[in-house]
Amino acid sequence: MLWKILRSAFSRRPRADSFVNRSLALRKQGRQHEAEQLLREAALQFPRNAIVATNLGVALLEQDQAEHGVAWLQRAIEFDPRCAPAHFNLANVMRASGQRKPAIEHYESAIDADPGFGHAREELMNCLLEVCDWDRAGQVAKAIHAQIAREPAATWMRYVSPLTALQLGLPPAEVKAVAAFHAKECARDIKHLPRRPASAQAIDDARRLRIGYLSRDFGNHPVGQLLANALALHDRAQFEVYAFSFGRDDGSTYRRDIVRGVDHFIDAEAMTDDELAAVIAKAGIHVLVDLAGHTTGNRMPVLARRPAPVQTHYLGFAATTGASYIDYYISDAVATPPSMAAAFSEKVAYVPHSFMVSDGADALNPPVEARNAAETQLPRDAIVFCNFNNGSRITREDFAAWLQILDGVPGSVLWLQGANPVMVDNLRAMENAAGLEQPCIVFAQRVPTKREHLSRLNRADLMLDTIGWHTGHSSTSDALWAAVPVLTVPGQHFANRVSASLVTAAGLPQYVRQDRRDYIDTAIRMGRERAELAAGKRELAARTAPFFDTQGRVRDLEAAYRQMWEQTIASA
């Protein structure tokens, strides 16, 4: 009797963590508004509870109520200055809005409050890399390596993403294991992972395959930009094309082009994983193409539910997904030589030339404006080297190589993206410390459209690729469409071999060099002689190489989809 009374009393006055746990379950189901209402009730009952305030802030952020979400996170820190989750989530918001200095401070506060907060340490390292603060990033990386050495895999893998594993220089087998761990986590709430569904009947050549593209990035994002016009080129006699979008409509021309370019566009942003999987299954999709992998906001749990007989990853994630429920990974023989296929849990589906489909809709003919136009600040007669990758892909070794090249080509300049002011300050300080005769780095300002960026990009003579853990991907594609040759060195995994794939398919295999020393010497030679660079630009401007044949690359994809399906039918 006493227990019944106590249980009744508890049900009438639940604890704060009861509200939080229930809200987390609702958010996981995509029911953010219900989670918000529950947490608002909790905030009334527990008015100075930092964890309740933190979770309410996150629930509001997930509903695009940034101002109110940030206010609740700040309130949580007022309630408890050492509330690590509040500092961590506030850091994420600051970083996403470009405020990297306060983001770094909040990550550090989260780690100070909770030294075992692995996710905060991982994101701090990534944020420091984005601003090219290599000394501090290296210190954090050492701390992560130390945790990896002393903790069981099931512990440290929770806060090391597959791409972070690449940044940390872990061997391919370990990167694959990290990806597999996260893929299993995405399927944790599914009691019985479905086996690959057998085909109801074989499909003959007269019937169209239904291809479903699954992404949050159908908009002004590198994935959306690459596919905006390519999807419309599918052979409608052979393929029926679906786009399942779980991202917000950004109102961009890319979004509109994708909506127009597919047969069926399904806005799935508000759908739960179960609902989206059911919609895909009901549509009878034969080949489901995941464009996200382990990127932020992915819907891997949908793929774990096996809504389609064939599931493949393409384009969006630069490493294996490690998922038993993803059958194929689309690549090519340069980006993934057969000797490296073991690094993938998926079967590698090879396409000719290069795996990346892109188009030149945003690429204009060479501009007529003078190079020293006010918006570029580029010297008229200088050799202009460039790199428009974000800071996280630039390594200390890359920057040192670029300074050597600038020193070896008198009067040359290096043109970098300048949207990240903390990165600009750090690189400018290192340039000054190098003792060059004159400032050689020009930072580009952000322009409103990609078309404007590609128009100005043509004024560069040579893109010096990042050749550390990650080469250029869409940035390399942009340069090639703008008739700018790209000098690169292939590495030992997919993420740092993509440029080599694109440059080779663009008809310039001589720009793929053997090692860093060869890269530096070649850049200096080209910068001094100039004629070779001019010839490379003319070759790209002609756009006759396979890379520029967008329809041909789409046909290669279609052949891969057909082969995947036929192999599935044969084994059913």
Cα–Cα distance, 421 to 402 (Å, whole number)? 20
The DSSP result for 224-266, as a single string, is: HHHHTTTGGGS-TTTEEEEEEE-S-----HHHHHHHHHSSEEE
430 contact partners, CB below 8 Å, separation of at least 6: 132, 399
pLDDT score for 12: 45
Rounded Cα gap, residues 442 and 418, in angstroms: 8
The pair of structure tokens assigned to 498 is: 């993509």
pLDDT of residue 439: 81
What tokens were used for 521? Answer: 């010497």
- Taking only the tens of pLDDT, the chain with its 572 residues reads 333 433 333 344 468 888 889 988 888 777 889 999 999 999 999 999 999 999 999 999 999 899 999 999 999 999 999 999 999 999 999 999 999 999 999 999 999 999 989 999 999 999 999 999 999 999 999 999 999 999 999 999 999 999 999 999 999 999 999 999 999 999 988 866 666 555 544 555 447 899 999 999 999 999 999 999 999 999 999 999 999 999 999 999 999 999 999 999 999 998 989 999 999 999 999 999 999 999 988 999 999 999 999 999 999 999 999 999 999 999 999 999 999 999 999 999 999 999 999 988 787 665 444 455 545 678 888 999 999 999 999 999 999 999 999 999 999 999 999 989 999 999 999 999 988 877 899 999 888 888 889 989 999 999 999 999 999 999 999 999 999 999 999 999 999 999 999 999 999 999 999 999 999 999 999 999 899 999 999 999 999 999 999 999 999 999 999 999 999 988 87
The two three-digit tokens of residue 103, written as one number: 């983001």
**Per-residue model confidence (pLDDT) at position 381:** 87
Contact (Cβ atoms closer than 8 angstroms) between residue 187 and residue 304: yes
Give DSSP secondary structure letters for 7-33: HHHHHHS--HHHHHHHHHHHHHTT-HH
Partnered with residue 441 across adjacent β-strands are 414
pLDDT of residue 313: 98
Could you tell me what percentage of the chain is helix, strand and coil, using 3-state DSSP and rounding each to the nearest 5?
50, 10, 40
Separation CA 162–CA 345 (nearest Å): 13
Instruction: Map residue 288 onto helix, strand or coil.
Output: strand
Degrees to nearest 5, angle at CA 442 with 440 and 448: 170
**pLDDT for 363:** 75
**What is the pLDDT at residue 556?**
98
pLDDT at 1: 39
Q: Walk me through the domains of the chain, giving residue ranges and CATH numbers.
A: 15-171 (1.25.40.10), 209-359+551-571 (3.40.50.11380), 384-548 (3.40.50.2000)
Instruction: Give the pair of three-digit tokens for residue 214.
Output: 């699954």
**Rounded Cα gap, residues 410 and 383, in angstroms:** 9
Residue 9 sits at φ, ψ, to 5 deg, of -65, -40
- Return the CA Rg of the chain: 25
Q: Residue 467 is encoded by which pair of tokens?
A: 């050749």
What are the contacts of 504-510 at 24+ separation with CB within 8 A? 504/334, 504/354, 505/332, 505/334, 505/353, 505/354, 505/545, 505/546, 505/547, 506/480, 506/540, 506/545, 506/547, 506/548, 507/539, 507/540, 507/544, 507/545, 507/546, 507/547, 508/536, 508/539, 508/540, 508/545
Sequential DSSP letters for 424-475: HHHHHHHHHHTT-SS--EEEEPP-SSHHHHHHHHTT-SEEE---SS---SHH
User: Is residue 400 within 8 Å of 489, Cβ to Cβ?
Assistant: no
Question: Strands across the sheet with 310-313, in order?
Answer: 264-267, 239-245, 209-215, 287-290, 310-313, 328-331, 347-350
Cα-Cα-Cα-Cα dihedral sign, residues 286, 248, 450, 406? negative
Greatest C-alpha distance within the chain:
94
Distance CA 509, CA 213 (A): 31
Q: Rounded to an integer, what distance in angstroms lies between the CA atom of residue 228 and that of residue 218?
A: 8
